[in-house]
Structure 1
Amino acid sequence: MVTAVGYFHQRDIPKDLAPQLEGQSLDGIFIDLKQMYPQGPVLIYFWATWCPYCRIVSPAVAELSQEYQVIGIAMQSGSKEVVAEYMRNHDIAFPSLNDPQGILTAQWGVKVTPTLLIVGTDGKIAWVTTGATSKLGLQLRLKMTK
């Protein structure tokens, strides 16, 4: 059952090459996925301020961002200021792009929060996980990704 639900949630996510992903992060830094993945795997984290599971996953992603490349996508969570304040108030820090209208989310075929993808050094999506997950599980996937 879990596998069927996971597959259903992931049905529109690209199966091969990662779509383009670039923009200015909440802290003003330009992010370009194509420039990042040749340096090592990139964890892309689609999350929302209103997502209860994200409150569990976000601190783990913030910790992983100390060792690995991370791009957060704040899905339909309000203005840049609202999302930045939420991150400060919850003591979570990782580079994040704001997606108030869900445009990036739709381009990536993401349907649920949280959704985590790992892009390998070849630009291909190596892993997709939806729902709550552990820091250890993500860390192992990142270590196995080339």
Structure 2
Amino acid sequence: MIGKVKQILVFGTTAIALYMGVQLFATRSLVAGTPPAIHTTALDGRTFDIPNRDGRPAVLYFWASWCHICKAMQNSIRSLARDTSLVSVALLSGDESEVREYVKQEEFEVPVILDERGDIGKEYGVRGVPVVFILGPDGDIRFSSIGYTSELGLRLRLWLAGL
């Protein structure tokens, strides 16, 4: 019995270490600290200033219309947007009319900034999507992740960023 428990602990520890190593490698190009400034208007007409220094944690979410993993995260992102300061960046997803059509078709009712040429993504070091940046109350980046992240994982990071 003790041997089985030891095997499970070793396997679990190895899996966690491997996951953390992959995340560190994947996020190495992403910016940290104070994020590059974004002063723009979203598709819905709201203006956004990042970094946001309003004293609350916030989420900056990079996605693409052609990304299947992004599509899998949409419910989590929609849920977060209901009670969290959140803005999304449509990276290399077409022109304004194409992104508007996608947002309408997918009922993706979150603020969307258009990054038609990928310039914002480059400033943030984004090489693939989805990417999530969690900003602390001071507007600085506290956490970043690439790839699928669960709603629980995002909410935990938001909570930690607010401490």
TM-score normalised to structure 2 length? 0.83
Distance 2:78 2:100 in 1: 14
The answer for unaligned runs of 5 or more in structure 2 is 1-17
Q: Does 1:90 align with 2:102?
A: no
Q: Does 1:109 align with 2:125?
A: yes
Relative to structure 1, the CA distance from residue 37 to residue 58 in structure 2 (aligned partners, 3 Å threshold; closer, same or farther) is farther
State how 1:76-87 maps to structure 2 within 5 Å.
Answer: 76-87=92-103
- Corresponding residue number in structure 2 for 1:15: 32
- Corresponding residue number in structure 2 for 1:143: 159
Distance 1:104 1:98 in 2: 9
SS of the residue corresponding to residue 82 of structure 2 reads coil
Q: Kindly indicate whether the alpha-carbon contact (under 8 Å) linking 1:20 and 1:33 is maintained by their aligned counterparts in 2.
A: yes
* Higher helix content, 1 or 2: 2
Distance 2:55 2:104 in 1: 28
TM-score normalised to structure 1 length? 0.93
Distance 2:39 2:79 in 1: 22
Of 119, 135, 148 in structure 2, the residue corresponding to residue 132 of structure 1 is 148
Distance 1:80 1:41 in 2: 28
Q: Kindly indicate whether the alpha-carbon contact (under 8 Å) linking 1:9 and 1:111 is maintained by their aligned counterparts in 2.
A: no
Of 29, 35, 38 in structure 1, the residue corresponding to residue 54 of structure 2 is 38
Larger Rg: 2
Identical-residue share of aligned pairs (%): 30
Of 132, 135, 152 in structure 2, the residue corresponding to residue 119 of structure 1 is 135
The offset of 1:2, in angstroms, is: 3.3
The offset of 1:23, in angstroms, is: 0.7
- Corresponding residue number in structure 2 for 1:72: 88
Q: Give the alignment's Cα RMSD to 1 decimal.
A: 1.3
SS of the residue corresponding to residue 144 of structure 2 reads strand
Distance 2:157 2:88 in 1: 17
Moved more, 3-12 or 92-101: 3-12
Distance 2:75 2:97 in 1: 20
AA in 2 matched with 1:145 = A
Q: Figure out how many residues of one structure are paired with residues of the other and give that number.
A: 145
The offset of 1:110, in angstroms, is: 0.9
SS of the residue corresponding to residue 66 of structure 1 reads helix
Q: Kindly indicate whether the alpha-carbon contact (under 8 Å) linking 2:55 and 2:138 is maintained by their aligned counterparts in 1.
A: no
Runs of 4+ in 1 over 6 A off after TM superposition: none
